[in-house]
Chain A
Amino acid sequence: MQEPEIIPHLFRTEYRKIIAVLCKRFGIEHIEIAEDIVSETFLLASETWGQKGLPVNPIAWLYTVAKNKTKDFLKHDNVFTQKIVPEIKLTSSEREEVELDLSTQNIEDSQLQMVFAICHPSIPVEAQIGLALNILCGFGAEEIADAFLTNKDAIYKRLARAKEKLRAEQIPIELPSPQAIDERLQTVLTTLYLLFNEGYYSASQNITLRKDLCLEAMRLTYLLSTCEQTNTPAVNALLSLMCFHSSRFEARTNDKGEMILYEDQDASLWSKELIEKGEHYLNLASKGLRVSRYHLEAAIAYWHTQKEDTTEKWENILQLYNRLLQLEYSPIAALNRTYALSKANGKQEAIMEAEKLQLTDLHLYYSLLANLYEELDKEKALMHLRKALSLAKTSTDKNMLEKKIQKLESN
């Protein structure tokens, strides 16, 4: 890797590790100290490496500098000495010796504990996602803004507020107790699930960034699966779901970055490796007694890896959606269930069911109705497509609907 690329790359992979260890050391209420130390470390790296060239081992270089900066900080910062040292109960001799533990084990432990600190029930879920991207994944405000289709200032403000909340709540950086871990894991999994969806369904045109978001969500979920206390069936189910979904990454956009619908995808581009991984984690997930929404969604995603339209496939998908909706209602699941119903029980029944949903503020609702009417009543299908177009928000959706209207009109 060349110099101009290596710093952003290391920033992404190492920032989050060092910051997790520093936060663990100082407490999350002093997150700004951790951020300062890591920022200064990377600043020095870009200056020094620019002049003298890359060191033999850049990561070891970064760790040494971070350790030294921490030592300096502990020696010289007055506020820290007077206010914080008594809190973290360091004697002066300990302060002299203190060395940041950047061993692989401590990095992994600290990161895992940071996941629980950030995905804490007292932090609003929107803030959790921003913090997770920033602190757990090492994304800058600009990248986060790009993913959320908003501006950098808005993200800065959102992150600042979220960090204020972290400090105010004084959330300890530790694994929850065995009694509390299942409940706390639910919050963590919700955030990781949303983080993945943010990448998978984002309207952002930046495909590399969207993939990175998905990969980061997978990495954090995988991290949970590597620790005995957090390796639960629901964690494996979510990981399985993520593997199945991301197996279609290469097939779901064309070279212009436009979406290709599932039905039109080239199945030879689906990643066999990720499908096999998905099956592996789904097997591991089936060991528990409780069926979570991730189990059901992973099973639905499994059936979608079978390209061939069989009765068995759609009947299974329909029954899984029936169960998913009984567990937790969502408009998107209601629409997908109705699509599965049309494949399993026929279009007439699906149209009757679709008319009952009345999700009249969603363009996808009208896209579904158009799909169901397409072969039975062209005029009705066109009417629904036009209604969908009037409700669509992103240019990708609008383009796709315009193309469909043109195609149907010329038929």
Chain B
Amino acid sequence: MKEFLLVFRRDFDSTEAQPSPEQFQAMMKNWQDWMGSLAAQNKLVSAGNRLASEGKVVKPGNVVTDGPYVELKEAVGGYTIIRADSIEEAAELAKGCPVLAIKGNVEVRTIIPM
């Protein structure tokens, strides 16, 4: 079994993409059910964390800019670590991720142990 990092990206920018409190509540249940499903298959290594929309980027020459690195339309919103036999299986597991329901995406990367 190998470990994989799932990086969740979603639109932090446009107002219509931001959930209402009710939608947020329902989303939380979907996330918990999805995490629970991974954990029940013993595929969850770490539930990881959510990330706030604010951020700073530090560049060469002591240049610090506000905001996440890429465009806000595809900012990193959180990450999770799972275990799977192959990157294909990891991608299969990522298909259930609730971020997809709000037009976000999941990047699946193989972790190379140091």
The listed residue (B33, B35, B42, B47) touching A334 by CB distance below 8 A is B42
Assess the B36–A337 pair: CB atoms within 8 A. Answer: yes
Q: Which residues of B contact A318 (CB under 8 A)?
A: 33, 36
Contact with A along B45-88 (1 / 0, CB 8 A): 00100000000000000000000000000000000000000000
Output the nearest chain B residue to A331 by Cβ-Cβ distance. Answer: B42
Q: Is B108 located at the chain interface by the 8 A CB criterion?
A: no
Q: Is A357 located at the chain interface by the 8 A CB criterion?
A: yes
Output the nearest chain B residue to A321 by Cβ-Cβ distance. Answer: B36
Assess the B47–A353 pair: CB atoms within 8 A. Answer: no
Q: Is A201 located at the chain interface by the 8 A CB criterion?
A: no
Output the nearest chain A residue to B93 by Cβ-Cβ distance. Answer: A356
Q: Is B18 located at the chain interface by the 8 A CB criterion?
A: no
Output the nearest chain A residue to B44 by Cβ-Cβ distance. Answer: A326
The listed residue (A319, A326, A341) touching B39 by CB distance below 8 A is A326
Most buried by A among B29, B37, B40, B42: B40
Q: Is B41 located at the chain interface by the 8 A CB criterion?
A: yes
User: CA of A393 to CA of B36 in the docked complex: distance in angstroms?
Assistant: 29
Assess the B36–A356 pair: CB atoms within 8 A. Answer: no
Q: How many residues on chain B are close to A (CB under 8 Å)?
A: 12
Looking at chain A, what size class is its interface with the partner chain? 10 to 19
Assess the A357–B32 pair: CB atoms within 8 A. Answer: no
Q: Is A190 located at the chain interface by the 8 A CB criterion?
A: no
B102 to chain A, nearest CB (A): 19
User: CA of A102 to CA of B35 in the docked complex: distance in angstroms?
Assistant: 54
Assess the A322–B32 pair: CB atoms within 8 A. Answer: yes
Assess the A338–B40 pair: CB atoms within 8 A. Answer: yes
Assess the A322–B41 pair: CB atoms within 8 A. Answer: no
Q: Which residues of A contact B41 (CB under 8 A)?
A: 334, 356-357
Output the nearest chain A residue to B32 by Cβ-Cβ distance. Answer: A322
Q: Which residues of A contact B36 (CB under 8 A)?
A: 318-319, 321-323, 325-326, 337
Q: Which residues of A contact B42 (CB under 8 A)?
A: 329, 334
The listed residue (A333, A341, A357) touching B33 by CB distance below 8 A is A341
Q: Is A225 located at the chain interface by the 8 A CB criterion?
A: no
User: CA of A337 to CA of B44 in the docked complex: distance in angstroms?
Assistant: 15
Assess the B33–A325 pair: CB atoms within 8 A. Answer: no
Would you mind naming 13 contact pairs between A and B with Cβ atoms under 8 Å apart?
A: A321-B36, A322-B33, A322-B39, A323-B36, A326-B36, A326-B39, A326-B44, A326-B47, A334-B40, A334-B41, A337-B36, A356-B41, A357-B41
Q: 5 shortest A-B CB distances, which residue pairs?
A: A322-B36, A325-B39, A334-B40, A329-B42, A322-B32
Known: A326-B39, A357-B41. 12 other contacts (CB 8 A): A318-B36, A319-B29, A326-B36, A326-B44, A326-B47, A329-B40, A329-B42, A333-B40, A334-B40, A341-B33, A353-B40, A357-B40
